[in-house]
């Protein structure tokens, strides 16, 4: 069995590939120093020793690819270490754990895009054909097709409903659309920060340990409670801002 340093191709006779640490680094693109760090952290198995040479194989290359994939999903080294240890000791399949991707991709609301006819949109919005243009300008609907068969795609039926209700209460489309843009911009940043926060604490604060059942239970609880927390905090902040506005006085 020939050990490659990465400067030449691996064996072509069907025998398992073996690498020095520099060879493994060249093969996987992971720096030698990082490979050694992973060993000290317990996420990469120790290499075979042949005299004074540390020899790695395809198992090590696969583990490095797995570590990279898990890190791209936001897991830190401690969580990855727990995961691979459970995988070895309890026959926990990493693929099964990664099946949590399906739960992560599950919508947090039932507000799905909907295609409606022009007649239906006119009825819902209380507008004539010419008046539908204002809904397009606000980004609430998108015209699909042309002629009599034309329809409209409503990206968020719930947001359209809320906007129309605000309009009936005296808040015009432009003002409502501006408010929606502010919310989306601010909440997008908050969502990114929250996801990063939870991902960094998988198994150590988000879920009692790194296991599908534990993480899944935390996710299921987070959906309704997370939305409720946003509602409560937003209400508190609106109240705070309104009190400040009253204190300094409303300027026309």
Per-chain mean pLDDT for the chain: 83
**Residue (of 64, 24, 30, 27) closest to 44 by Cα position:** 64
The 10s digit of each residue's pLDDT in 151-169 is 899 999 999 999 999 999 9
| Top-confidence residue, 95 or 236 | 236
Band of residue 3 on the pLDDT scale cut at 50, 70, 90 = low
Does domain 3-104 sit in CATH 1.10.1660.10? yes
Residue 47 confidence (pLDDT) above 90: yes
**pTM (two decimals):** 0.57
Q: From CA 84, how far away is CA 104, in angstroms rounded?
A: 21
Contacts of 89 (CB under 8 A, 6+ apart): none
Q: From CA 64, how far away is CA 39, in angstroms rounded?
A: 11
């Amino acid at each position: 069995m020939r050990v490659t340093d990465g400067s030449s191709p691996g064996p072509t006779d069907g025998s398992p590939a073996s690498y020095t640490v520099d060879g493994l680094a060249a093969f996987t693109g992971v720096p030698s120093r990082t490979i050694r760090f992973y060993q000290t952290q317990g996420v990469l198995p120790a290499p075979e020793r042949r005299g004074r040479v540390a020899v790695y194989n395809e198992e090590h290359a696969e583990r490095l690819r797995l570590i990279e994939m898990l890190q791209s999903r936001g897991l830190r080294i401690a969580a990855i270490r727990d995961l691979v240890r459970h995988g070895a000791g309890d026959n926990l399949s990493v693929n099964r754990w990664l099946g949590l991707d399906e739960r992560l991709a599950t919508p947090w609301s039932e507000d799905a895009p909907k295609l409606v006819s022009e007649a239906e949109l006119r009825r819902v919005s209380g507008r004539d054909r010419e008046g539908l243009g204002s809904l397009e300008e606000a980004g609430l609907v998108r015209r699909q097709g042309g002629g009599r068969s034309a329809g409209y795609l409503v990206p968020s039926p719930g947001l359209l409903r809320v906007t129309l209700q605000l309009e009936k209460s005296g808040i015009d489309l432009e003002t409502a659309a501006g408010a929606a843009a502010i919310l989306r911009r601010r909440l997008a940043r908050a969502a990114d920060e929250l996801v990063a926060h939870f991902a960094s604490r998988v198994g150590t604060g988000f879920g009692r340990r790194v296991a599908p059942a534990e993480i899944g239970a935390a996710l299921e609880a987070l959906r309704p409670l997370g939305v409720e927390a946003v509602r409560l905090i937003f209400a508190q902040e609106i109240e705070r801002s309104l009190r400040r506005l009253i204190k300094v006085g409303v300027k026309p």
